Amino acid sequence: MKPDLRVVKTKRALHEALVELLKNHSLEQVTISALCRVANVNRGTFYLHYARVEDVFEEYFQEITADLAKSYEEPYRHVKLLNPRELEPSTIRIFHHVQTYVDFYRIVFSKNVPLAYYYMLFDEVRKLLLRDTAAHKQDEIDHELFCSYQANAIVGMIIHWAEHDFAATPDEMNEQLAHILRLDSGRRV
């Protein structure tokens, strides 16, 4: 069944309005009235889809993390097993994804939303790594701990990029990640 375009437009307007409001207010400070006013949506329509402002944020967050997963998986589209030493920076799409949703990431890494949303992002990245690296398990390394380490490294790069106001291009970030992965994959701890 084809999605109702009115619902799609309404949800997009609410997502965009929430991001706009979060630039200057914490999530707890955003009211349904303010959200509806900025989105140009009436409260009745809001309540057809959501119960709370947090529901809008969580839905948008899930939409973004689904796109993040697609971006993460891009280098794997044409290979069965990815060798980090052979990773082409042009196939890395994570930083392009972040650039697409740059306003959202500025907010997630700001002080205006609960730390829980940072952890939600971290968990999504870790899940991708857990699924991805199952073939790379080594007996002497706890697999879940290793994936947590790698997830923090990726999120850390994004945070660093955000702290520098996303001044580097996504392609420059791809190059850096590829160099780091090559360096890390050639070393035994």
Query: Are the C-beta atoms of 128 and 148 separated by less than 8 Å?
Result: no
Total number of domains constituting the chain: 1
What token pair was written down for 103? 């306003």
Q: How far apart are CA 36 and CA 46, in angstroms?
A: 7
Which one of 22-26, 75-79, 158-162, 181-185 scores highest in mean pLDDT? 158-162
Give residue-wise pLDDT tens across range 68-114: 989 988 877 766 666 666 777 887 889 999 999 999 999 888 876 67
What token pair was written down for 127? 């899940």
Supply the range of the domain harboring residue 93. 5-185
Residues 6 or more apart whose CB falls under 8 angstroms from that of 14 comprise 35, 39, 41, 46, 49, 50, 56
Neighbours of 182 (CB within 10 A): 14
CATH (domain of 13): 1.10.357.10
